[in-house]
Structure 1
Amino acid sequence: MQYAIDETNRRKKIQEAYNKEHGITPKSTKRRLDESLKLEEYDALAWKKEKVEKMPAAERKKILIELNKQMKKASHDLNFEEAIRLRDEIEKIKKI
C-alpha cells in the first residue's frame, strides 16, 4: 500500500512541475450525469431505437449479454469512458 501512495505522490510532483513549466492550470470537468461522453447524431440514435424496437426479445437479450461482456472487459482494461458508453447503451435497450 505504501508503494502505491509513494508512486502516486511521485507522479503528482512530476505532473505539477510539468504544469508549472508550461503554464497549465488544471481545472475540473463539469457535466451532467446523464450527458453522454460521446455525442451521437439524432438520426443515428432514432434509427438504432427503431431497429431495436422491431427486434425479437430473444435477440435483444443476446445483445444485452454481449454488451455486458464488452462493458466488463472495458472496465477491466481501465477504459472507463467506453464502459460508461456501453452501460448507457444497455440502459437504453432495457427501456425499450
Structure 2
Amino acid sequence: MGRAARNVNAKVVMYADTVTGSMQRAIEETQRRRAKQLAYNEAHGITPATIKKDIRRGIEAELKARRTARRAAETDETPIDARELVRVLEAEMLEAAGAFEFEKAAALRDQMLKVREIIEAEAGPAGDESDEPVMLRRGEIERPIRA
C-alpha cells in the first residue's frame, strides 16, 4: 500500500475472504497518513501531481550499446575495443548472476577473462590502465554468449 499511496490516483486491491487484524491496521494507518498529507497539502497550497519522467531513454541507450557491442564482436570486418567488450561482458555476467543464471554467468566470466588475457598480451601488464584501445576482430574471440 505504501508505494501506491505515493501516486495521486492509486488504488490498492486486496484479495481475502475476511479482513484480518493486520489488514485492518494497515488500512487504518494508510487512511491516517493520507488524511495528514491532505491537510498538509491544503494548508500549504500544494496540488499533488504524479512525477512524469522518461526512464526508457536510459534503458534503451544501454540496450543499444550492448547490441552494438555484440554485432561488432560477431562481424569479421568490424573491430571492437576489447576494453568495451570486457565492460559489456562484466555487466551481462553480473546481470545473469543476479537472475540466478549461474552457468551463463560463469561462461561470460570465462569469456571476459580470455579477452582480458588478449588485452594484457597486446598492451602489456599495465594494459588495463592504458587509455589506448585494443581492437579485436571476430576471429580473435569466441562467439559471444546469447542472451
TM-score, normalized by the shorter chain, greater than 0.5 = no
Larger Rg computed on CA atoms:
2
Give the alignment's TM-score, normalised by structure 2: 0.30
- Structure with the higher helix share, 1 or 2: 1
